[in-house]
Amino acid sequence: MSTAYDPSNIFGKILRGEIPAHKVYEDEQTLAFMDVMPQGEGHTLVVPKAPARGLLDADPESLAALIRVVQKVGRAVKQAFQADGLTLFQYNEPAGGQTVFHLHFHLVPRHEGVPLKRHEGGMADQAVLAEHAARIRAALEA
């Protein structure tokens, strides 16, 4: 069963500037910003500007642009946190674990032996998120 895109979702609001986010990268087609409930230090989200509920209804052109930015921001995130690895995840529909219905990739830098925190665990401190976003922006500019 397919469900229509609903622009009132929280990432739609971030894209329209209606609510704030700690942004790390933006271009014509994509936006990347910190996850407010990080599953690890540096947990970043990358979203297309074009409306799409998930991977399966996204326009392939928009997806191609998105995955390029996932790689670009992924490199910066890994470098900014001097991580050993990088975990990506992307959920589709409630049964697939999705809670915000605007397509997004999660990027979490990983360190050997450090487990991921719970999905939708605690809210991070805003000042910490701002500092982490600045670190990633600096890595993108390096």
Active site residues: 104
* In contact, 107 and 77? CB cutoff 8 Å: yes
> Which segment (27-35, 67-75, 79-87, 130-138) binds ligand 5GP by CB under 6 A?
27-35
Q: Is 120 in the site for ligand 5GP (CB under 6 A)?
A: yes
Q: Is the dihedral of CA 7, 12, 13, 15 positive or negative?
A: negative
Reduced to 3 states (helix: H, G, I; strand: E, B; else coil), residue 74 is helix
Radius of gyration of the chain (CA): 14
Please answer whether residues 32 and 24 qualify as being in contact, where contact means their C-beta atoms are separated by less than 8 angstroms: yes
State yes or no: residue 3 binds ligand 5GP (CB under 6 A): no
Please say which residue, 66 or 142, places its beta carbon nearer to ligand 5GP. Answer: 66
- Verify binding: residue 130, ligand 5GP, rule CB under 6 A: no
77 interacts with ligand 5GP by CB under 6 A: no
Tell me how many residues contact ligand 5GP (CB under 6 A).
13
